[in-house]
Amino acid sequence: MQVIDQIANLILEDPLITASRIARRLGYAEEKTVYYWLHKFHYSGLNAFKKAVLHGQYVPNRPALGEAPGLYGRLPVTDRWTAEGKPIFDGDTLAVPSGAPAELIWRYPGPPMLSILPQDLLVLSAFDANFKSPWLVVHGPDGLMQLRLSVQTGSHRLVVHPITMERDAKSHPVYQILQLIRHY
Protein backbone atom coordinates (compact mmCIF):
# COMPACT_ATOMS: atom_id res chain seq x y z
CA MET A 1 0.00 0.00 0.00
CA GLN A 2 1.33 3.44 -0.88
CA VAL A 3 2.19 5.88 1.89
CA ILE A 4 -0.49 8.31 0.66
CA ASP A 5 -3.12 5.56 1.13
CA GLN A 6 -1.84 4.88 4.65
CA ILE A 7 -2.16 8.59 5.44
CA ALA A 8 -5.70 8.59 4.02
CA ASN A 9 -6.67 5.59 6.17
CA LEU A 10 -5.32 7.32 9.28
CA ILE A 11 -7.44 10.38 8.42
CA LEU A 12 -10.53 8.18 8.04
CA GLU A 13 -9.71 6.63 11.40
CA ASP A 14 -9.34 10.06 13.08
CA PRO A 15 -10.33 13.14 11.03
CA LEU A 16 -8.67 15.43 13.61
CA ILE A 17 -5.29 13.68 13.42
CA THR A 18 -2.22 15.92 13.24
CA ALA A 19 0.80 15.61 10.96
CA SER A 20 3.03 14.75 13.92
CA ARG A 21 0.68 11.93 14.97
CA ILE A 22 0.57 10.61 11.38
CA ALA A 23 4.38 10.67 11.31
CA ARG A 24 4.56 8.70 14.57
CA ARG A 25 1.99 6.14 13.40
CA LEU A 26 3.91 5.61 10.14
CA GLY A 27 7.26 5.39 11.92
CA TYR A 28 8.72 8.67 10.66
CA ALA A 29 10.94 10.81 12.88
CA GLU A 30 9.58 14.14 11.61
CA GLU A 31 6.23 15.40 10.41
CA LYS A 32 7.86 17.05 7.39
CA THR A 33 7.99 13.56 5.84
CA VAL A 34 4.17 13.56 5.86
CA TYR A 35 4.15 16.90 4.05
CA TYR A 36 6.67 15.53 1.55
CA TRP A 37 4.21 12.78 0.59
CA LEU A 38 1.28 15.19 0.43
CA HIS A 39 3.19 17.55 -1.88
CA LYS A 40 4.38 14.63 -4.00
CA PHE A 41 0.71 13.87 -4.73
CA HIS A 42 -0.07 17.56 -5.40
CA TYR A 43 -1.84 18.46 -2.15
CA SER A 44 -1.05 21.87 -0.66
CA GLY A 45 -1.11 20.58 2.90
CA LEU A 46 -2.72 18.27 5.42
CA ASN A 47 -6.03 20.15 5.58
CA ALA A 48 -6.41 20.04 1.79
CA PHE A 49 -5.77 16.30 1.81
CA LYS A 50 -8.13 15.74 4.75
CA LYS A 51 -10.86 17.57 2.85
CA ALA A 52 -10.28 15.40 -0.24
CA VAL A 53 -10.35 12.18 1.80
CA LEU A 54 -13.38 13.05 3.92
CA HIS A 55 -15.41 14.23 0.91
CA GLY A 56 -14.60 11.10 -1.08
CA GLN A 57 -12.50 12.93 -3.68
CA TYR A 58 -9.52 10.75 -2.73
CA VAL A 59 -10.40 7.13 -2.01
CA PRO A 60 -7.49 5.07 -0.66
CA ASN A 61 -6.67 1.80 -2.39
CA ARG A 62 -7.40 -1.38 -0.50
CA PRO A 63 -4.41 -3.22 1.00
CA ALA A 64 -2.76 -5.84 -1.20
CA LEU A 65 -2.91 -9.50 -0.22
CA GLY A 66 -0.70 -10.11 2.78
CA GLU A 67 -0.81 -6.49 3.98
CA ALA A 68 -2.56 -5.56 7.18
CA PRO A 69 -5.75 -3.60 6.44
CA GLY A 70 -6.36 -0.16 7.88
CA LEU A 71 -9.00 0.30 10.54
CA TYR A 72 -11.29 2.12 8.11
CA GLY A 73 -12.01 1.99 4.42
CA ARG A 74 -14.45 3.65 2.05
CA LEU A 75 -17.23 1.68 0.41
CA PRO A 76 -19.51 2.76 -2.43
CA VAL A 77 -23.15 3.46 -1.51
CA THR A 78 -26.06 2.44 -3.73
CA ASP A 79 -29.80 2.85 -3.54
CA ARG A 80 -30.57 1.53 -7.02
CA TRP A 81 -30.08 -1.81 -8.77
CA THR A 82 -30.26 -3.05 -12.35
CA ALA A 83 -32.92 -5.62 -13.27
CA GLU A 84 -30.12 -8.22 -13.15
CA GLY A 85 -29.36 -7.35 -9.51
CA LYS A 86 -26.18 -5.32 -10.09
CA PRO A 87 -25.70 -2.16 -7.99
CA ILE A 88 -25.82 1.27 -9.64
CA PHE A 89 -23.35 3.68 -8.05
CA ASP A 90 -23.70 7.47 -8.10
CA GLY A 91 -20.31 8.25 -6.54
CA ASP A 92 -21.31 8.35 -2.85
CA THR A 93 -18.95 6.57 -0.47
CA LEU A 94 -18.91 6.05 3.28
CA ALA A 95 -16.05 5.28 5.68
CA VAL A 96 -16.67 2.09 7.62
CA PRO A 97 -14.54 -0.19 9.82
CA SER A 98 -12.54 -2.57 7.66
CA GLY A 99 -11.48 -6.11 8.36
CA ALA A 100 -14.71 -7.70 7.19
CA PRO A 101 -15.10 -8.66 3.52
CA ALA A 102 -17.47 -5.75 2.87
CA GLU A 103 -18.07 -4.72 -0.75
CA LEU A 104 -20.74 -2.04 -0.76
CA ILE A 105 -23.41 -0.24 1.22
CA TRP A 106 -27.11 -0.33 0.35
CA ARG A 107 -29.33 2.55 1.45
CA TYR A 108 -32.39 0.40 2.11
CA PRO A 109 -35.56 1.99 0.64
CA GLY A 110 -38.10 0.02 2.66
CA PRO A 111 -40.52 -1.35 3.72
CA PRO A 112 -39.62 -1.90 7.40
CA MET A 113 -38.47 -5.48 8.03
CA LEU A 114 -38.29 -6.34 11.74
CA SER A 115 -35.23 -4.40 12.97
CA ILE A 116 -34.33 -2.90 9.55
CA LEU A 117 -35.97 0.42 8.69
CA PRO A 118 -36.15 2.51 5.51
CA GLN A 119 -32.98 4.62 4.96
CA ASP A 120 -30.84 2.27 7.08
CA LEU A 121 -27.41 1.71 5.57
CA LEU A 122 -26.65 -1.98 5.14
CA VAL A 123 -23.01 -3.01 4.78
CA LEU A 124 -22.97 -5.96 2.37
CA SER A 125 -20.57 -8.67 1.27
CA ALA A 126 -21.03 -11.31 -1.40
CA PHE A 127 -23.14 -14.26 -0.27
CA ASP A 128 -21.05 -17.04 1.27
CA ALA A 129 -22.89 -20.20 2.33
CA ASN A 130 -20.30 -20.79 5.07
CA PHE A 131 -20.87 -17.38 6.67
CA LYS A 132 -23.54 -17.34 9.38
CA SER A 133 -25.33 -14.05 8.64
CA PRO A 134 -29.02 -14.12 9.58
CA TRP A 135 -29.89 -11.44 6.99
CA LEU A 136 -29.58 -11.82 3.23
CA VAL A 137 -30.18 -9.58 0.24
CA VAL A 138 -31.78 -11.65 -2.50
CA HIS A 139 -32.56 -11.10 -6.16
CA GLY A 140 -36.25 -11.92 -6.37
CA PRO A 141 -38.14 -13.41 -9.31
CA ASP A 142 -39.63 -9.95 -9.93
CA GLY A 143 -36.12 -8.55 -10.54
CA LEU A 144 -36.07 -6.55 -7.29
CA MET A 145 -33.52 -6.74 -4.50
CA GLN A 146 -35.21 -7.75 -1.25
CA LEU A 147 -34.37 -8.67 2.34
CA ARG A 148 -34.74 -12.23 3.56
CA LEU A 149 -33.77 -14.21 6.63
CA SER A 150 -31.41 -17.16 6.48
CA VAL A 151 -32.46 -20.05 8.70
CA GLN A 152 -30.08 -22.96 9.19
CA THR A 153 -31.73 -26.33 9.85
CA GLY A 154 -29.08 -29.01 10.20
CA SER A 155 -27.09 -28.97 6.98
CA HIS A 156 -29.77 -27.07 5.03
CA ARG A 157 -30.21 -23.33 4.71
CA LEU A 158 -33.70 -21.97 4.21
CA VAL A 159 -34.42 -18.49 2.87
CA VAL A 160 -37.58 -17.11 4.48
CA HIS A 161 -39.57 -13.89 4.25
CA PRO A 162 -38.95 -11.94 7.51
CA ILE A 163 -42.59 -10.91 8.00
CA THR A 164 -44.59 -13.93 6.82
CA MET A 165 -41.85 -16.46 7.74
CA GLU A 166 -42.77 -18.38 4.59
CA ARG A 167 -40.03 -20.16 2.67
CA ASP A 168 -38.80 -18.27 -0.41
CA ALA A 169 -37.39 -20.85 -2.81
CA LYS A 170 -37.60 -18.56 -5.86
CA SER A 171 -35.19 -15.86 -4.69
CA HIS A 172 -31.44 -16.12 -5.17
CA PRO A 173 -29.14 -14.93 -2.32
CA VAL A 174 -26.65 -12.37 -3.65
CA TYR A 175 -25.35 -10.56 -0.55
CA GLN A 176 -25.27 -11.01 3.20
CA ILE A 177 -25.58 -8.15 5.67
CA LEU A 178 -22.50 -7.59 7.81
CA GLN A 179 -23.56 -4.41 9.58
CA LEU A 180 -26.47 -2.01 9.92
CA ILE A 181 -25.81 1.73 10.21
CA ARG A 182 -28.69 3.95 11.32
CA HIS A 183 -28.58 7.75 11.38
CA TYR A 184 -30.92 9.57 13.75
21-42 pLDDT, tens digit per residue, is: 999 988 898 999 999 999 999 9
β-strand 104-107 against 72-81: which pairing, if any?
parallel
Q: How confident is the model at residue 45 (pLDDT cuts 50, 70, 90)?
A: very high
The answer as to whether 65 is a domain residue is no
Q: What are phi and psi of 138, to 5 degrees?
A: -115, 155
The percent helix, strand, coil of the chain (3-state, each to 5) is: 20, 35, 45
77 lies in the same domain as 50: no
| pTM of the shown model | 0.62
Number of domains in the chain: 2
Residue 5, H or E segment: helix 3-13
Contacts with 12 (C-beta within 8 Å, 6 or more apart), sequence order = 53, 54, 60, 70, 71, 72, 73, 74, 95
Q: How confident is the model at residue 65 (pLDDT cuts 50, 70, 90)?
A: very low
Contacts with 48 (C-beta within 8 Å, 6 or more apart), sequence order = 38
The answer as to whether 64 is a domain residue is no
35 lies in the same domain as 103: no
172 lies in the same domain as 93: yes
With a pLDDT cut of 90, the percent of the chain lying above it is 32
What is residue 91's predicted lDDT score, i.e. its pLDDT? Answer: 76
Q: What is the CATH number of the domain that holds 135?
A: 2.10.109.10
The answer as to whether 81 is a domain residue is yes
91 lies in the same domain as 48: no
The residue range of the domain holding 110 is 72-181
91 lies in the same domain as 12: no
85 lies in the same domain as 145: yes
Average pLDDT, the chain: 85
Q: What are phi and psi of 172, to 5 degrees?
A: -110, 120
Q: What strand order describes the sheet that includes 104-107? A: 87-97, 72-81, 104-107, 121-126, 172-181, 135-139, 145-153, 156-160
What is the C-alpha to C-alpha distance for residues 23 and 19, in angstroms, rounded to an integer? 6
